[in-house]
Amino acid sequence: MVSVLDDGWLGEVLAQVAGASTLDALHEAAVELTGKRSALSAARQALGALPPDERRVRGQQLNDLRAQVEAALAERRSVLQAAQRRLRLAADRLDLSEVLAARAPRGAGGHRCVPGDGRWGRGRVHLVQRTRDELEDVFVGMGFTVADGPEVETDWYNFEALNMPPAHPARGMFDTFYLDVEPPDGVLLRTHTSPVQIRVLQRRRPPVYAVMPGRCFRRETPDARHLPVFHQVEGLVVDEGITFGDLAGTIESFTAAYFGADIDARLRPAFFPFTEPSAEFEVTCTICRGSGCRTCSHTGWVELGGCGMVDPAVLVAVGIDPERYGGFAFGFGIDRCTQMRHGIADMRVLLDNDVRILRQG
């Protein structure tokens, strides 16, 4: 065997390290080359028998050798670990190509390219998802950022922080699905996207201009305008000097951009505990063009959502000074927008999985 201080030793050792093909093999090599029973350790022990001068020179040589061997081991270890990570990622990889195909760019006329035209393959975006994408585009164009939050919420985010303490009568507006976990009635499926307002305000300081789309849940019997699982997009602006005029202007710009100029929108006074003053906003029913039909319960108008000036109590709940900052919020149904934009008389068809509907995505 070559001794540690022979010329060939280091080369041999480095080749051994480079040849270790698994992390286990490398670990064994490390024990053999640098452990207590290694030639390096034996050589260090033997130093004691040498005269001082020689001991110093040899000692230095041994230190250098050990440093080189350890550096080679570390380098090889990181190469093998990276390879192992790559393998693990490859094994975990999901094939999302169908989704990608569905999210492919639109063809002429704003429609997604259809299967069979040879360009995008299978998969479609559901009409509701398409509406959500388009609404996001409209708001991003107006300078808003997009945020989201969890569908399973705590009572505090869904109600309390929004100025609805336990037993507040306004909770009755939201027929809530509670989860069977501790504490009782403490965890629920969010009934609106408004809890995301709170989450955003906990993360960011004003100025905030954000929209928060997502899925919501209410114990509701499905009918022409309601589904127990539906989608909302929440909007929140918190800044200095915000007025109700900014809110009304934002809603008007969004309805004009999304529905086109021939749809009328109106605000009506309403009550929400987290905004004051509050309003509901409605658009002309596109099914009857305002003359009254089953879809709009013969009113000629369909409610899209609620809005108002953020109540100071909400700002206080997240530690923002209501003397300095104010804002507005709105929340409206994405499914309702889909329904009105595409003239769908009964919202339940959105969930029927009828291919004639699905193909339109």
Q: Which residues bind ligand PHE (CB under 6 A)?
A: 192, 194, 272, 275, 278, 305-308, 329-331
C-beta of 30 vs 279, nearer to ligand PHE = 279
CA 149 centroid distance within chain? 7
Closest distance of CB 162 from ligand PHE, Å: 8
Phi/psi at 311 (5° precision): -65, 135
- Output 76 or 225, the one with its CB closest to ligand PHE: 225
The least CB distance from residue 320 to ligand PHE, in Å, is 16
Between β-strands 301-310 and 275-284, what pairing exists: parallel, antiparallel or unpaired? Answer: antiparallel
Q: Shortest gap between Cβ of 172 and ligand PHE (angstroms)?
A: 12
CB 288 to ligand PHE: min, Å: 24
We find the least distance from the C-beta atom of residue 305 to ligand PHE, in angstroms, to be 5
Residue located via tokens 């306004």: 170
Question: Which of 55/209 has CB closer to ligand PHE?
Answer: 209
The CB-of-124 to ligand PHE minimum distance in angstroms stands at 28
Which of 38/191 has CB closer to ligand PHE?
191
Beta bridge partners of 265: 283
| Minimum gap (Å) between residue 329 Cβ and ligand PHE | 4
Nearer to ligand PHE, 9 or 330 (CB): 330
The torsion of the CA quartet 133, 136, 141, 147, rounded to 10 degrees, works out to: -140
Helices (H), the chain: 7-19, 23-34, 39-46, 52-92, 97-102, 127-141, 155-158, 194-203, 244-259, 312-317, 334-342, 355-358
Written as six digits, the tokens of 299 are 């009113």
Encoding tokens for residue 324?
A: 């300095």
Residue partners of 35: CB distance under 8 A and separation at least 6: 41
Q: Which is closer to ligand PHE, CB of 201 or CB of 307?
A: 307
Name the residue nearer to ligand PHE (CB basis): 278 or 286.
278
Burial of 135 (0-12, 13-18, 19+ CB in 10 A): buried
User: How many Å is the Cα radius of gyration of the chain?
Assistant: 33
- Which two three-digit tokens encode residue 265? 């929108």
